[in-house]
Homo-oligomer: A and B are copies of this chain.
Amino acid sequence: MSKPLVSESLSDTVRSKMESELVAGHLAPGTVLDERSLAERFGVSRTPVREAVLHLAAQGLLNVIPRVGVVVPKLGIRELLELLEMLAEMEGVCASFAAKRMTIVQRAEFRAALKACRQAARNGDSKRYAGANKKFHEIIYAAAHNEWAVRQVRALRMRCAAYQRSRFDLAGRLDKSLGEHERIVAAIEAGEVARSRLAMQEHISIGGQDFADLVRGLDPNLLASG
C-alpha cells in the first residue's frame, strides 16, 4: 500500500509513465513504437523500457511483435464487447462484496460521495461529475475488501479507457448515471448482495442503443480492421 521510501526503479517509472499515456489517449491503439525510441524519449537505456513494456504486455495493454515493434493493440468490436461485458461483471462482483463488508466509516464516505454526485448532476457539471463518480466507485472498491478483485477491475478499466472516454458528455447521461448510483447505494446499504451486483452491472454495462452510440462516437481507426 505505502510507497517505498527508496526511489522506485526506472522500470517502474517508465511503466507508470507509459500507463498514463495509454489511458490519457496519447499512444492511441494502432500506434507502433520501438524500444530504442522509447529509451531515448525517457532518457534511459533499453533495459528498463523493455521491462516496462514486457510488464504492460503481460497485462495485455501492449503487444510486442518480433521484428515489428511494440504496438498498442486495436480491439475489434467483438473484443470490445467482451471487454465491456467483463468489466460490468467485475464491477458487479465488487459491489456485491461491498454489500457484504462495507464498514461504518466507509458508509459515511459513500453517502458523501453520492451527495457530491447529486450536486454535480444538478449543476450539469460533467467534469465535476466525473470526479465525484470516480470517488464513488473508489469507495466501493475499498469496501469490497478484496485486493484481487480490485486489481482486476482496475486493469480492465485501463484496458478499455481509450474506447470510452467522455461518457458523461451526452445529454441526459448525468441524470441517468445518478439514478443508477442511487439504486446502488440503496442496495449496498441494505446489504442485499444480489441486488447490489445487479444494480452495478446494469450501471456499467452498455446495451442496445447505448452501445450503438458508443461505437458511432469512436474513431474508426481505433477498431481493428481484421
Contact = CB atoms under 8 A, between A and B. Distances in A.
Interface of A: 6, 9, 50-51, 54-55, 58-60, 66, 79, 82-83, 85-86, 89, 93, 97, 145-149, 152, 156
Contacts of A146: 82, 85-86
Number of copies: 2
Contact of A51 (B54, B79, B97, B147): B54
6 cross-chain pairs, A with B, having the tightest CB-CB distances, nearest first: A58-B58, A86-B148, A82-B146, A89-B93, A55-B58, A86-B149
Nearest to A83: B148
B82 A148 contact: yes
A93 B93 CA distance: 9
Given A89-B93, A93-B89, A152-B152, A147 B79 contact: yes
Contacts of A152: 86, 152
